[in-house]
Amino acid sequence: MAKFSLPKAEEGITRSSLRVPSNMLPRIEEAMANSPYNRKQRSKWIADITEQFLLRSDAPNLVAEEFIVPGSTASIPVTLSTELDEKINQMIERVLMEEGSRTDRSSVIRTAITQQLMANVGMQLSPKETRNQKIAALGGYDEPTV
């Protein structure tokens, strides 16, 4: 008689669902198509751009300003490292402390995605310390040096 058990969860991995505006999904796919990431690496792309976003000095303000229209979202599965998960939780606390606004995990990640999509078309406004960073590896463009 064979004994079956549930598969062990990978250590260091957090799985959850992310709610994004439905019209953002094609833009994510397009950004990924123009980057070194393939469709199976969507979680990796999301994790990498979220890591970069969390380094921005204006991240708490951008997250606090983020909003989503109810009923217009799609849910996508995402897998993140527990280290990134903790950084996202720290950002949620920073937003509350600095901006006085309660937010959630999806809001932080959606803001990171939005900022990346804006950067890809040259519309992102960045603080001084991130202006000259190269984001081409994430599917973006090289920002001009000022």
Q: Which residues contact 130 (CB under 8 A, 6 or more apart)?
A: 55, 56, 57
What DSSP string describes 34-81? TSS--GGGHHHHHHHHHHHHHT-TTHHHHHHH----TT-EEEEEEEEE
What phi, psi does 88 have (nearest 5°)? -65, -40
Lookup: tokens for 11? 């250590």
**Residue tagged 């920002």 (tokens):** 143
pTM exceeding the 0.85 threshold for the entire prediction: no
Per-residue pLDDT reduced to its tens digit, 60-80: 999 998 877 777 888 999 999
Predicted confidence pLDDT, tens digits, the chain (146 residues): 455 544 455 568 989 899 999 989 999 999 999 999 998 999 999 999 999 999 999 999 999 988 777 778 889 999 999 999 999 999 999 999 999 989 999 999 999 999 999 988 887 665 544 444 444 444 554 444 43
